[in-house]
């Protein structure tokens, strides 16, 4: 049984925080942020909108898009490092909000690589025939763990949610290969201490540039495919310079890489599904296209998937 994406949706808060707004909050400039990260603005969730609310917004759209009713879900996986509270999990809260009465539910913690971990995990249940319909949500309210006085991190992140429904798809479609990895020794470079997120940007940057390229090439090799077979590279939207480095490793032209980082900043586990929705809405993904998705994050963690689009 092949496992693929059968529906997708996203939720983005309305409030926009621009680089110019940030200039009034910390010692930074629009010019610095744009040239070092590619980010121009990001979305920030309202105080009364929590992680589970954003997850619900994206999940509802993904279910509608898949034409799957919540009662037919077998499992809900939510990738997040900013849950509403330690427990119950966001996935259990979501199960209740959706009325997905027959579904199992659990959260998954792999930071910005969480969506890759979620899709691969779901893929295993589908491929072995245990489950049919699985909802995977990548969602973050990073604004609540951001120190708004720390210019090293305050300029980078945004809030949002992306969701897919995965299910059995026809031969040759869906997940063709994947790679997941972790290096706990790098945990000290990106972590949450007490209330706030803390980061050694330069170390994370070096790791990301190396790992994004390696993992993308590895999934292509595992699937018996070549760089020129790739129709769309969907990298985790952390920093345009990191994304460009992976694109160059794959020798792809600029139009074959998704870019939303300028509008939404780094939305962590949500960034890959949000970016795919954007491409679909613009009509840039067609049936049979080869997508390479690749993410990295705190842990350190990483993950990549080669996927043939379509049911
Ligand atoms: O999902 C994973 C999450 N994390 C990441 O993706 C982060 C990966 N790292 C990066 O994206 C980059 O390392 C940054 C964008 C964070 C920083 O870019 P950089 O080119 O590596 O800059 P840098 O760390 O070498 O810093 C250059 C200077 C420093 O000043 P000094 O020490 O040279 O005097 C920083 O203090 O820029 C300063 N700086 C800022 N200046 C203005 C750091 N943040 C800011 C800021 N505005 N917001």
Average pLDDT of the chain to the nearest whole number: 97
Q: Is the CB of 238 under 6 A from ligand 1?
A: yes
Q: In ligand 1, which atom is closest to the CA atom of 22?
A: 48
Reported confidence tier of residue 201, pLDDT bands at 50, 70, 90: very high
- Boundary (domain end) residue, out of 152, 169, 186: 169
Q: In ligand 1, which atom is closest to the CA atom of 239?
A: 11
**What residue numbers bound the domain in which 53 lies?**
2-169
> Domain of 77: which CATH number?
3.40.47.10
Examine the domain organization and report whether 281 and 136 are in the same domain.
no
- Residue 283: what are its φ and ψ, rounded to 5°? 70, 25
Reported confidence tier of residue 90, pLDDT bands at 50, 70, 90: very high
Name the catalytic one among 2, 19, 65, 236.
Answer: 236
pLDDT tens figures, 163-193: 999 999 999 999 999 999 999 999 999 999 9
Examine the domain organization and report whether 156 and 213 are in the same domain.
no
Name the catalytic one among 112, 133, 189, 239.
Answer: 112
- Boundary (domain end) residue, out of 119, 146, 169: 169
Could you tell me which of 88, 79, 145, 66 has the C-alpha nearest to residue 115?
79
Examine the domain organization and report whether 125 and 233 are in the same domain.
no
Examine the domain organization and report whether 147 and 269 are in the same domain.
no
Q: In ligand 1, which atom is closest to the CA atom of 151?
A: 48
Examine the domain organization and report whether 41 and 110 are in the same domain.
yes
Examine the domain organization and report whether 150 and 250 are in the same domain.
no
- Boundary (domain end) residue, out of 125, 151, 169: 169
The pLDDT of residue 1: 86
pLDDT at 305 over 90: yes
Examine the domain organization and report whether 253 and 107 are in the same domain.
no
What CA–CA distance (Å, rounded) separates 126 from 90? 22
Query: What pTM, to 2 d.p., does this model score?
Result: 0.96
Examine the domain organization and report whether 228 and 128 are in the same domain.
no
Reported confidence tier of residue 215, pLDDT bands at 50, 70, 90: very high
Reported confidence tier of residue 55, pLDDT bands at 50, 70, 90: very high
Examine the domain organization and report whether 150 and 264 are in the same domain.
no
The pLDDT of residue 180: 98
Do 274 and 10 form a contact (C-beta atoms < 8 A)? Answer: yes
Percent of the chain with pLDDT over 70: 100
Number of domain units in the chain: 2
pLDDT at 76 over 90: yes
Examine the domain organization and report whether 190 and 43 are in the same domain.
no
Examine the domain organization and report whether 278 and 302 are in the same domain.
yes
Q: Edge-to-edge, what's the strand order for the sheet holding 134-140?
A: 2-11, 160-169, 134-140, 75-79, 104-108
Counting every residue written for the chain, the total comes to 311
Examine the domain organization and report whether 151 and 13 are in the same domain.
yes
Provide the CA 278 distance to its chain's centre, in angstroms.
13
pLDDT tens figures, 147-163: 999 999 999 999 999 99
pLDDT tens figures, 251-274: 999 999 999 999 999 999 999 999
92 tagged catalytic: no
CA dihedral over 107, 110, 114, 118, signed as positive or negative: negative
Q: How many angstroms is it from 111 CA to the middle of ligand 1?
A: 20
Q: Is the CB of 151 under 6 A from ligand 1?
A: yes
Mutate-to-test residue for ligand 1 from 26, 29, 147, 201, highest number of ligand atoms within 8 A of CB: 201
Neighbour-count burial of 280, counting CB atoms closer than 10 A to its CB (0-12 exposed, 13-18 middle, 19+ buried): middle
Q: What is the DSSP string of the chain?
A: -EEEEEEEEEE--S-EEEHHHHHTTSS--HHHHHHHH---EEE---TT--HHHHHHHHHHHHHHHHT--GGG--EEEEE-SS-SSSSS-HHHHHHHHHT-TT-EEEEE--GGGHHHHHHHHHHHHHHTTS-S-EEEEEEE-GGGG--TT-HHHHTTB--EEEEEEEEEE-TT-EEEEEEEEE-GGGGGGEEEETTEEEE-HHHHHHHHHHHHHHHHHHHHHHTT--GGG-SEEEE-SS-HHHHHHHHHHTT--GGGB---HHHH-B-GGGHHHHHHHHHHHTT---TT-EEEEEEEETTTEEEEEEEE---
Q: Is the CB of 28 under 6 A from ligand 1?
A: yes
Q: How many angstroms is it from 243 CA to the middle of ligand 1?
A: 16
């Amino acid at each position: 049984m092949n496992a693929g994406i059968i529906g997708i949706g996203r939720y983005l808060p309305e409030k926009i925080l621009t680089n110019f707004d940030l200039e009034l909050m910390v010692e930074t400039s629009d010019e610095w942020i744009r040239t070092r990260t590619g980010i121009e603005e990001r979305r920030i969730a309202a105080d009364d909108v929590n992680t589970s609310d954003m997850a619900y917004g994206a999940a509802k759209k993904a279910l509608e898009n898949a034409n799957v009713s919540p009662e037919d879900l077998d499992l809900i996986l939510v990738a997040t490092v900013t849950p509403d509270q330690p427990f119950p999990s966001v996935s259990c809260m979501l199960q209740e909000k959706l009325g997905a009465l027959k579904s199992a539910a659990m959260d998954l913690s792999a930071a910005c690589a969480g969506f890759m971990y979620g899709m691969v995990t779901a893929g295993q249940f589908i491929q072995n025939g245990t489950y049919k319909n699985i909802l995977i949500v990548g969602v973050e309210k990073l604004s609540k763990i951001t120190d708004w006085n720390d210019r090293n991190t305050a300029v980078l992140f945004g809030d949002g949610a992306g969701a897919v429904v995965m299910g059995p798809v026809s031969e040759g479609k869906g997940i063709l290969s994947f790679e997941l990895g972790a290096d706990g020794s790098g945990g000290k470079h990106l972590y949450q201490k007490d209330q706030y997120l803390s980061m050694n940007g330069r170390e994370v940057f070096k790791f990301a540039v190396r790992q994004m390229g390696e993992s993308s090439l590895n999934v292509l090799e595992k699937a018996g495919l070549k760089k020129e077979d790739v129709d769309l590279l969907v990298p985790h939207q952390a920093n345009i310079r990191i994304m460009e480095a992976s694109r160059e490793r794959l020798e792809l032209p600029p139009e074959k890489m998704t870019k939303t980082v300028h509008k939404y900043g780094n939305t962590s586990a949500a960034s890959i599904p949000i970016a795919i929705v954007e491409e679909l809405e613009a009509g840039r993904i067609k049936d049979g296209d080869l997508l390479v998705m690749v993410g990295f994050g705190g842990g350190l963690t990483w993950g990549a998937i080669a996927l043939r689009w379509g049911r």
